[in-house]
Amino acid sequence: MRIILLGPPGAGKGTQAKLIVKDYHIQQLSTGDLLREHRNQDSDLGNEAKHFMDAGNLVPDGIILGMVAAEFKKPYLDPGYILDGFPRTCPQAQGLDNLLVDHNQKLDHVLVLEVPDEELIRRLTARRSCSKCGYIYNLVFNPPQAEGICDLDGADLIHRSDDTEATVQNRLKVYQKQTKPLIDHYEQQGLVRHIDGTGDVKQIYQRILTAIS
């Protein structure tokens, strides 16, 4: 199964991707996570991406497409994948179309998670994630048992530098302008399933299962 998860920042793409991955034995490919790994490793790519990310702007298409093309060559994606946070612009969608042809692959679904802006801001400013396993918490909706510590492995929780209210507002604008138009691109391919992204995490996951099964 090959899925794109589309939706604004904070819509729950990462949260839902982790559930799908577990049940369907496929892989999550998150360009945001890959970029953060590069930043942690202090690589040239990470340093180049840093100021775009911290301002809530998109990293240039050439960087993203090069990074994703390299992942597509790796066998871990062979059983299937969820693209989380990619593609985000028309040139990226075109680049993905080309990669799919090159690898003789087809997409099964494009899931669009829909959540109102006020809820997105509430979710993102309270997000914390594990520095080791990446598990996603929320100080309001899903807090860890001990403050600042991951329940699963005891590692420190981090607050993403782009989760401040001002940066989140810009990320929402960028989504409306550059990413939302992609929904039309995939509507034309008959792949889009709109998912109500409000309510309980498990309830939303049920809606996803209904849409993809």
Binding residues for ligand AP5, rule: CB under 6 A, are 7, 9-15, 31-32, 35, 52-53, 56-59, 64, 85-86, 88, 92, 123-124, 127, 136-138, 141-142, 162, 171, 201, 204
- Return d(Cα 142, Cα 94) in angstroms, integer: 37
- Identity of the residue, 11 or 110, whose beta carbon is nearer to ligand AP5 in the bound complex: 11
3-state secondary structure of 180: coil
Q: Are 48 and 138 in contact (CB under 8 A)?
A: no
Q: Which CB atom, from 56 or from 109, has the smaller least distance to ligand AP5? A: 56
**Which amino acid makes up residue 121?**
I
Provide the minimum distance between the beta carbon of 192 and ligand AP5 in the complex, in angstroms, as a whole number.
17
* Burial of residue 41, with CB atoms counted within 10 A of its CB: 0-12 exposed, 13-18 middle, 19 or more buried: exposed
Compute the least distance from the CB of residue 206 to ligand AP5, in Å.
12
Report the catalytic residues: 13, 88, 127, 160, 171
82/98 Cα distance (integer angstroms): 17
In the complex, the smallest distance separating the C-beta of residue 27 from ligand AP5, rounded to whole angstroms, is 16
Secondary structure, 3-state, 61-129 = HHHHHHHHHHHHCCHHHCCCEEEECCCCCHHHHHHHHHHHHHCCCCCCEEEEEECCHHHHHHHHHCEEE
Shortest CB 92 distance to ligand AP5, Å: 6
The minimum distance between CB 57 and ligand AP5, in angstroms, equals: 6
For 46, the enclosing helix (H) or strand (E) is helix 44-54
Question: Which single residue is written with the structure tokens 């801001």?
Answer: 121
Q: Residue 34 or 192: which CB sits closer to ligand AP5?
A: 34
Which of 61/191 has CB closer to ligand AP5? 61
Q: Minimal CB distance to ligand AP5: which residue?
A: 32
SS3 content of the chain, % helix, strand, coil (to 5): 50, 15, 35
